[in-house]
Structure 1
Amino acid sequence: MSDHPETPVAPVEAFEPPYYVAVFATVRTPDQTGYGETNARMEELVKDVPGFLGMDHAQTPGGLGITVGYFRDAEALAEWRDNAEHRAAQRRGRADWYQNYTLHVAKVERSHGFTRAPG
């Protein structure tokens, strides 16, 4: 146990709809050689997409990983989908890192959030 408090974790804020989400759910293979570096590069790269709003990640103890990307409009999501480096990472993921995955894309029509006041 560390003497330092953990950095607070919070989900991406609620945005004014409509906007889009891409929900990427994965189970990875045992060999993750190169995954961490590629994942970090993708997280850097997507931030440069105009209309990218943020990203949430979760991992279950059983190995299910979920990443949710938030995009202002369909054009921003398409720009990310069509990015050449992202496409190369997708190919590598299918060849090496993912046992299986699903991708769900949806238009958000309602969004709200809650934050407990300190104290």
Structure 2
Amino acid sequence: MAAANALTAREAAVKATKAKEEADVMAREAAAVVLRLFDNDAELVSELLGVPAEELEREAKPVTAARAKEIIEALRARAERPRPTRARKPRTDAADAASSASGNPAPVVTADSSRADAA
């Protein structure tokens, strides 16, 4: 039982380490992309994101310009693609639902805020 727990814990640690490494790569790439999009103006990006400029530059440094450009092109292509639409059921307003449930028509409010009979 202890061996199984140790094995499970080890597998979880390996998965967590891999996830952290992937997140670190994504963070470095994101920093490089944002800096590239803002013409490497680290001070401006620093103010926008609330992250020290030195940290942004340090994060972005290992990412090549080619990789940053590749990511930007992929994001642009994704933004240009039409989004798939799903058929949606028409929504009923709460007022419509309440009036249909009670059997009485809903009151109509006119421009002078007085109530008029909808029937």
Bigger relative contact order, structure 1 or 2 (CA pairs below 8 A, ≥6 apart):
1
Q: Shorter-chain TM-score category?
A: under 0.3
Between Structure 1 and Structure 2, which shows a larger proportion of helix residues? 2
What is the TM-score normalised by the length of structure 1?
A: 0.21
